């Protein structure tokens, strides 16, 4: 148990569906991250939020839409996905304390399958 929870743990959706992934951290952190891990590929950083403000978007297609309503919650809204978007989506958080070695704590991930 890392203090970062993700729901759902598994999701199957069609290409025309709209769904959302939820992440919640119970660590009092100020920074939150979305990563994508496809089969046999390294983790890819998608989005970074600091104090609810998006500070990085790594050229992610617009069919992925993040939302950070407060420092404890992070969402990833999905619409019109493609089969190649099937992957493990991981959320992480860090304290966000500037200038210090800042460990990221990962959630268990959501296994997404797009049919």
Partner 1 sequence: LAKTTQPISMDSYEGQEVNITCSHNNIATNDYITWYQQFPSQGPRFIIQGYKTKVTNEVASLFIPADRKSSTLSLPRVSLSDTAVYYCLVVSYGGATNKLIFGTGTLLAVQP
Residue 24 Cβ, how far from partner 1 at the closest point, in Å? 14
Closest CA to 90 of 51, 31, 45: 45
- Determine, following the binding rule CB under 8 A, whether residue 56 of this chain makes contact with partner 1: yes
The stretch near partner 1 (CB under 8 A) out of 14-22, 59-67, 70-78, 94-102 is 94-102
Q: By CB under 8 A, name the one of 20, 43, 65, 80 that touches partner 1.
A: 43
Q: In this structure, are residues 36 and 106 in contact, taking their beta carbons and an 8 Å threshold?
A: no
- Determine, following the binding rule CB under 8 A, whether residue 63 of this chain makes contact with partner 1: no
- Determine, following the binding rule CB under 8 A, whether residue 96 of this chain makes contact with partner 1: yes
Q: By CB under 8 A, name the one of 21, 74, 92, 112 that touches partner 1.
A: 92
DSSP 71: T
How many residues at the interface with partner 1, by CB under 8 A? 34
Cα separations (Å) of 80 from 39, 61, 72, 88?
21, 11, 27, 17
Residue 5 Cβ, how far from partner 1 at the closest point, in Å? 11
Q: In this structure, are residues 77 and 11 in contact, taking their beta carbons and an 8 Å threshold?
A: no
Q: In this structure, are residues 4 and 93 in contact, taking their beta carbons and an 8 Å threshold?
A: yes
DSSP 65: E
Contacts with partner 1, residue ranges (CB under 8 A): 2, 4, 30-31, 33, 42-45, 48, 50-51, 55-56, 88, 90-92, 94, 96-109, 111
């Amino acid at each position: 148990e890392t203090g970062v929870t993700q729901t759902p743990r598994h999701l199957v959706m069609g290409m025309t569906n709209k769904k959302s992934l939820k992440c919640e951290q119970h660590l009092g952190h100020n920074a939150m991250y979305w990563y994508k891990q496809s089969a046999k590929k390294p983790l890819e950083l998608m989005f970074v939020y600091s104090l609810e403000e998006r500070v990085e978007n790594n050229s992610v297609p617009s069919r992925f839409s993040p939302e950070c309503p407060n420092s404890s919650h992070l969402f990833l809204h999905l619409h019109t996905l493609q089969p190649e978007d099937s992957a493990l989506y991981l959320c992480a958080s860090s304290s966000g304390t500037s200038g210090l070695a800042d460990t990221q704590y990962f959630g268990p991930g959501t296994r997404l399958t797009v049919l």
